Amino acid sequence: MSNKSRRLYTGMTSDLGSRVIEHKLKLYPNSFTARYCYDVLVWYEEHATFRTARTRELEIKGWRKEKKVSLILPRNPDWADLSLEWQEDPGWKLEPDARPRIKRRNVNP
């Protein structure tokens, strides 16, 4: 997640769509992401297991900002909010088990 000043927040979730909505609506108003308005999804990766996702999260959290930016820029040079792609097909919200339809490649290190 990012904010208007392009600061970065790295996190992990098993339900990306719901988590992005929580950030956007600031459902936890006292949280770090709410206080600093982290509400723009600029990058995400999918992983097959919790362990690989957690390992990757910790790896990325250990990087300097320049390295994180070099990960984002090739696939999202404009820092576009990737969650806005979901609005093209609002029907996904009507199905309880629906997942966001985002055209990104799975990354399995």
How much of the chain is helix, strand and coil, in % rounded to 5? 40, 5, 55
Q: 75 with 104: CB under 8 angstroms?
A: yes
Model pLDDT, residue 5: 86
Q: How is the chain split into domains, by residue range?
A: 16-94
Give ∠ CA 66-77-3 in degrees, rounded to 5.
70
Our measurement of the distance from residue 102's CA atom to the centroid of its chain's CA atoms, rounded to an integer in Å, reads 11
pLDDT(102) > 80: no
Per-residue pLDDT tens for 24-74?
888 888 998 889 999 999 999 999 999 999 999 999 999 999 999 999 999
Closest CA to 54 of 14, 1, 9: 14
Q: For the chain, how many residues are written? A: 109
Per-residue pLDDT tens for 1-23?
998 889 999 999 998 888 888 88
Model pLDDT, residue 79: 92
In SS3 terms, 1-14 reads as CECCCCCECCCCCC
State the pTM of this model. Answer: 0.74
